[in-house]
Chain A
């Protein structure tokens, strides 16, 4: 779809670009009000995760549809160090010292679906979806 977007993440300003594109796309999908803010905030967290841990990566955003419902798909991909213990990284309050430790578990709470695939030394792919009500 032509409205889909890819945002290269390599400096902190790119985080803002990614979440603004996400908000625009979510509005096109039919999200309103606080859902737009929740989606933008989740994008902010996963994009910052790229900067902090992998230095650079990419966030892609697309409109999706399933069983008559519209939604947004957000994929964050990097070739950083990867996450050795995903269960630990997804626990509230777990932090490597660079953050509050709320980024990933927080983003999961803000979205409807959240998957994380990571390989040490290869990188991390986070896939999130949210559906209109």
Chain B
């Protein structure tokens, strides 16, 4: 009898031993370092992680390298500089899968996507009542706007790209490339969510946050890149008719630390001299008397001629705000010495305050003039030439140049393309403008890039061995290191 009791007692203790080891006994989270395991509890955590996703944008892509990829690669600027393995090939159309810039920026974009995905994955699980449903959706919408913007660049510069929409890889670090249509569909879905949830003015008055205007502007730009001008126009008009933005009377007032977040700004990366190398792009491009190294993205001879052709030079605010003509105080490396090294050359000057690798200038990503011109382009493509002409002339008038003389749809298409070129120098737009114009037949991008000249009238010999730009170079290659790390990736054709 007593033995039975003992037996039962032991069985009881044994069971107790088991129940002490209930499921959460082996769930431990860090106690002394902030990680995804112990963060994301409060409304404040949601906000600070979103701030982290914004802060992640201050890397090399938006302030520096993407300007080489777009304005530098296109007919707008000479990449120039002293990086003959990473940057020169961007100018000369000799980039190979081993190009370190192309490899690192693909990774940079995904790093920003990871930061946005961290918000998108975790904020929905926060149950803090201080986080209202409205604000929760706004936070997710802001993060999804950021993610969409990063994918916009991935899909336009690399084509099909792995679609990573969560920080949980489920052990699969080697995704396949998703078709372009799937990537666009994800961008559109993210932006429509943003469009539905974001306010017209930034939450908490914290300018720099994505707003509904930013979402609509990026929707318009995305649809344009997809060739869907109907939807593009819809969202351009939503921005225009929203009344949130207006053209500044003076082009010169768009730039510099004193003019950040002006009435024309739709989305820009905020800067305020938080520390050296937070915002170093300006120093890379600006003429600085004390810097004795070659600056990037020198305005091309062809670009200057385009300004001259429009009479947009000596007296034009736009011309003067865009360029800073100086004699270079360092050797420069332009194709065929496109500019005479002894004479002044056109340094780009839209972020005029270099600040010693810590510029106070914001980085303009989307502004109203871009959307007006995009509306003009869409209207023209859809046959609304009259509206298109009006919108084009709105921009020309502000720049101080005469109304356009173009009348036919095809003349107007060229005129709008040219106007976008002059208006948006070194704002990261030209390459995608050319891709669109190439797609809708306005120009042939291959012919255009193979007909660039230096200031002496010599043909610039782009391409490997000077053989010319090839169709396959419209998309960047997938980096060799990435192909090694991820056997499921395929290379773009031609590389």
Q: Do A and B bind each other?
A: no
Binding site for A on B (CB under 8 A): none
